[in-house]
Amino acid sequence: MSILKTDNLTYKYSVGTPFEVTALKDINLEIEKGELVAVIGHTGSGKSTLIQHFNGLLKPTEGKIFVDGQDIWESKKTLKEARFKVGLCFQYPEYQLFEETVFADIAFGPKNMGLDEEDIESRVLSAASFTGVTEEMLEKSPFDLSGGEKRRVAIAGVMAMEPEILILDEPTSGLDPKGRDAILKMIRDYRDTTGSTVMIVSHSMEDVAKIATRVLVMNHAEIMSFDTVEETYRHADSLISVGLDVPQITKVFLELKRRGIPVKSNIYTVDQAVSEIDRLRKEGVSLC
């Protein structure tokens, strides 16, 4: 049984007003336990609206959401359960830090779950070690940390709730390449160690290729595709046509293909490019 499922999910903002917008149209998807799904799509395609449905922050205009096979809107109890099972980390989560110390900020979620002091402390320490938040940082005010450190503290706060499904909205946005890679590695390690299901929203195909097991491509409120990284890149030209940026190396191979050279089109790392060129050489194909 899938851990997360939507059934004809449609969502409209400002229903019945001149500003009515259909942000999600008939979304049907199923995610298995332990997957690391990346959600990509142009700005305004519906990514944030979609993920806010998974822990009941938004209520479908039509359709249903199932977490662990349970319709989350069936009762107050099922909704509360979904809020514990699905941990959502918003875009720019560092703006939501507000406690006096980093420790207290990470402890906020577990405290709300009604855990005892000992459990809270062990969860805070384990989430801190995952995210590279040092003991010294735990005693500081979150406001004395750098932007990248604050981001890690905010993510630790959601991890400390040990959700079955961890969802992060653009966790790398605004970070430099080094900070971005550190966050991506942390997310992958978290999933590999805990076996949790993870969803990450991103607008970078390059980020996604590094960690995802499957890629959900959103386009104008609808699912354009939901497939492995490999298969998603096979249609790299259609990704470009819906406003997504693909790695430079992918563009080079698309251009070679356009010029009639029989290259694979799903090339997205330099290593893949090197072995593809080797293959062509062995077959005696000229690249000029």
Ligand X SMILES: Nc1ncnc2c1ncn2[C@@H]1O[C@H](COP(=O)(O)OP(=O)(O)O)[C@@H](O)[C@H]1O
Interacting residues toward ligand X by CB under 6 A:
13-14, 21, 23, 41, 43-49
Given a contact cutoff of 8 angstroms between Cβ atoms, the answer to whether 148 and 178 are in contact is no
DSSP 247: -
Asked if 173 touches Mg ion (CB under 5 A), the answer is: no
Residue with Cβ nearer Mg ion (47 or 123)? 47
24 strand-pairing partners: 11
The nearest distance, CB 21 to Mg ion, in angstroms, is 14
Q: How far is the CB of 44 from ligand X (least distance, A)?
A: 4
What DSSP element (H or E) covers 240?
A: helix 236-241
Residue number with the smallest Cβ distance to Mg ion: 48
Stretch that binds Mg ion, among 42-50, 80-88, 134-142, 224-232 (CB under 5 A): 42-50
Q: Using CB distances below 5 to 8 A depending on partner kind, what does residue 43 bind out of ligand X, Mg ion, none?
A: ligand X
Give the nearer residue to Mg ion in terms of CB position, either 23 or 115.
Answer: 23
- Interaction between residue 48 and Mg ion (CB under 5 A): yes
Shortest distance in whole angstroms from residue 13 CB to ligand X: 3
Q: Are 232 and 239 in contact (CB under 8 A)?
A: yes
Task: Find, among 209, 204, 201, 219, the residue nearest to 266 by Cα.
Answer: 209
Residue 45 site contact among Mg ion, ligand X, none (CB < 5 to 8 Å, cut-off depends on kind)? ligand X
Q: What residue type is assigned to position 52 of the chain?
A: Q
CB of 191 to Mg ion, least distance (A): 21
Rounded Cα distance between 147 and 207, Å, is: 20
For ligand X, the closer of residues 45 and 131 by Cβ is 45
| Cβ–Cβ < 8 Å for 211, 38 | yes
Task: Report the Cα 242 to chain-centroid distance in Å.
Answer: 19
Least distance to Mg ion from the beta carbon of 221, Å?
13
CA 229 to chain centre: 14
List interacting residues with Mg ion (CB under 5 A): 47-48
